[in-house]
Amino acid sequence: MVVVCGVDLRGVARKPSGVALLGEGLLYVGVFHGDEELLELVRAYKPSVVAVDAPLSPAEGFREVDREMLRRGFRVLPPGWRGMRALVERAVRLSRELASLGVTVIETHPRSALAASGCTAETLLRMHGVEPCRELTRDELDAIISAIVARYYAEGVRAGVSGADGCIYLLPRLC
The whole-number average pLDDT for the span 153-164 is 95
Q: Is residue 174 part of a domain?
A: no
Supply the mean pLDDT for the chain: 95
Q: Is residue 24 part of a domain?
A: yes
Cα–Cα distance, 82 to 169 (Å, whole number): 24
Cα–Cα distance, 83 to 71 (Å, whole number): 22
Paired strand residues for 31 = 18
Q: Is residue 175 part of a domain?
A: no
The whole-number average pLDDT for the span 113-122 is 97
Alpha carbon 82 to its chain's center: 21
Residue 67: band (very low, low, confident or very high) from pLDDT cuts 50, 70, 90: very high
Q: What does the pLDDT look like over 140-153, one tens digit per residue?
A: 999 999 999 999 99
Q: How many domains does the chain have?
A: 1
Residue 1: band (very low, low, confident or very high) from pLDDT cuts 50, 70, 90: confident
Report whether pLDDT(37) > 80: yes
pLDDT for position 81 = 87
pLDDT for position 108 = 98
CATH label of the domain that carries residue 8:
3.30.420
Q: Is residue 41 part of a domain?
A: yes
Q: Which domain holds residue 21?
A: 4-169
**Is 151 in contact with 4 (CB distance < 8 Å)?**
yes
